[in-house]
Chain A
């Protein structure tokens, strides 16, 4: 147990110590929100026919993107956290860990928890953008966001660890993650509304765990239940699978189940690789 805490603690300490990374972590979201968000918002609004009046007039692309940006930050941080496993192998510290009596299971769980914690902090840091975007965020929302971010991060960190356990170099890891994360991100509804897609794309979106993860952030921040149905639909907030409208609890349950499956796989994979 103390072993898990030690592994977790190390990653958290190192996260807060790495100033360059802290500052750098704002770069991508900032770029997306300001350049992409502001630049595209006119085009997207008019595409949705909402430039004039009617329910779609309320559509604000930057606000729409904000939960997606939080989601993107949490995914990226969580899945990339497993990079530390590869780096520890490269820089030798992994041998110090592996020759100690901590069980492989504890090491894997400590790593996943460390990555998840860091991702939650990173996600919370995105709330700095709130005043500039004009979304109203209450303390209640933040309290809801934290466990959801953790749940999502836990699942993604586990996926990261599965990949990291199979690879020896940081470069290889980065490449695999890149190839994996970008399509998942684009097909999750994080960056633009998913409506009127071709059937095959719709299928990919529906099997993408990130879709439901992002949707949870949207449900907390955008409060679709207070929106006009037409606007909600245009923003792609009515997710259905086999004509069943997906609820918040469905999503928690689904992501949690996935998280459990992936963490078991990750633990197994890591223990096998580093016997």
Chain B
């Protein structure tokens, strides 16, 4: 299979701040490629450069064989883009939003009706077709945007955190459809996400942090690099436990959110039996699991990547305000 996206040395600077520091990657036709990274890592900036919205400071990118800077219009005709921020016209109806999109992308007149029905059905908005978008809930708006992005069967579909704010059923539903569409129309998907389970669906994942790619491979490859099993414990005295575990088992221990410790061992179940028997500090809870992409990120950066919802952030802020670290 040939490369439908070719990126080399892509950089973006804002004044003297480097948001993206030289990204190299290729995406094959028909692949689902995931971009995983924490807030501010440079995911949106990269997508915006690939989709001709932002001009790169340095480096080149080619989509479908067309150069992103010199052949913008050809690139634009080849791609679909679902932005992180809402871009619907809220004063118009769902149908009007979709119809305009068909016209912008020269979807043939004869198939417009059929396409609109198809995409509305996928996101379960058929009965809202003639409603003004303003009256939609946040999740409904997001679903409509996804429907709109699929309308013209792009060769490459860019999705910037497509399912943020959707309920689990709709997320699953949207993914089923995207996978179906990939099979049927052979579209390539380039997406960013915070959700680990979404990254698991990807054929390949690139991990980005502070504007740099720090890992690239299939989810299995990345996880097998971490290797072994992950143990999570919480004890009466986490800092003392950390020191003790590092000394006894020669493994790196990471403290997460001051709540529990996480570390990696070769054979988890056998390890646990001895560990619980021998450990001196009283254990409050213990958990054994296989590595996830989160652990990949954790190992590479020492930080956890997670989708902090507003609620979680608020809880943390309140805790800090009350001095309960």
One digit per residue, 1 when the CB lies within 8 angstroms of any chain B CB and 0 when it does not, for chain A 1-37 equals 0110110011001100110000000000000000000
Please tell me which one of the listed residues B53, B89, B90, B103 contacts residue A99 in the complex, with CB atoms under 8 A apart. Answer: B53
Nearest chain-B residue to A103 (Cβ)? B73
Instruction: Give the contacts of A81-99 with B (CB-CB under 8 A).
Output: 91-93, 95-99
The interface centre, meaning the residue of A18, A93, A101, A103 with most chain B CB atoms within 10 A of its CB, is A101
Give the number of residues in A that approach B within 8 Å (Cβ atoms). 23
Please tell me which one of the listed residues B51, B87, B91, B96 contacts residue A92 in the complex, with CB atoms under 8 A apart. Answer: B87
Give the number of residues in B that approach A within 8 Å (Cβ atoms). 27
Q: CA separation between A100 and B85, bound complex, in Å?
A: 16
The answer, yes or no, to whether A102 is at the interface (CB within 8 Å) is yes
Nearest chain-B residue to A14 (Cβ)? B91
Complex contacts, B105 vs chain A, CB 8 Å: 100-101
Q: Quick check: which of B76-84, B173-181, B253-261, B316-324 contacts chain A, the rest being far away?
A: B76-84
Known: A92-B83, A95-B83. A101 touches B76 (CB 8 A): yes
Cβ-defined contact, A10 with B83, below 8 A: no
Cβ-defined contact, A10 with B73, below 8 A: no
The answer, yes or no, to whether B88 is at the interface (CB within 8 Å) is yes
Please tell me which one of the listed residues A18, A100, A275 contacts residue B91 in the complex, with CB atoms under 8 A apart. Answer: A18
Q: CA separation between A101 and B131, bound complex, in Å?
A: 27
The answer, yes or no, to whether B104 is at the interface (CB within 8 Å) is yes
Nearest chain-A residue to B79 (Cβ)? A99
Complex contacts, B88 vs chain A, CB 8 Å: 93, 96
Complex contacts, A2 vs chain B, CB 8 Å: 103, 106
Give the Cβ gap from B199 to chain A, nearest Cβ, in Å: 24
Complex contacts, A10 vs chain B, CB 8 Å: 89, 92, 96, 100
Complex contacts, A101 vs chain B, CB 8 Å: 73, 76-77, 104-106
Cβ-defined contact, A97 with B104, below 8 A: yes
Complex contacts, B234 vs chain A, CB 8 Å: none
Cβ-defined contact, B106 with A13, below 8 A: no
The interface centre, meaning the residue of B89, B104, B105, B106 with most chain A CB atoms within 10 A of its CB, is B104
Known: A6-B100, A99-B53, A101-B106. A93 touches B89 (CB 8 A): yes
Please tell me which one of the listed residues B52, B87, B103 contacts residue A3 in the complex, with CB atoms under 8 A apart. Answer: B103
Q: CA separation between A97 and B76, bound complex, in Å?
A: 11
The answer, yes or no, to whether B171 is at the interface (CB within 8 Å) is no
The answer, yes or no, to whether B129 is at the interface (CB within 8 Å) is no
Instruction: Give the contacts of B63-84 with A (CB-CB under 8 A).
Output: 72-73, 76-77, 79, 81, 83
Known: A99-B81, A100-B76. A17 touches B91 (CB 8 A): yes
Complex contacts, A6 vs chain B, CB 8 Å: 100, 103-104
The answer, yes or no, to whether B86 is at the interface (CB within 8 Å) is yes
The interface centre, meaning the residue of A9, A13, A96 with most chain B CB atoms within 10 A of its CB, is A96
Q: CA separation between A70 and B4, bound complex, in Å?
A: 56
Q: Could you list 11 A-B pairs, sorted by A, with CB under 8 Å?
A: A10-B92, A91-B90, A92-B83, A92-B85, A93-B87, A95-B53, A96-B83, A96-B104, A99-B53, A101-B105, A101-B106
A interface list, Cβ under 8 A from B: 2-3, 5-6, 9-10, 13-14, 17-18, 91-93, 95-103, 275
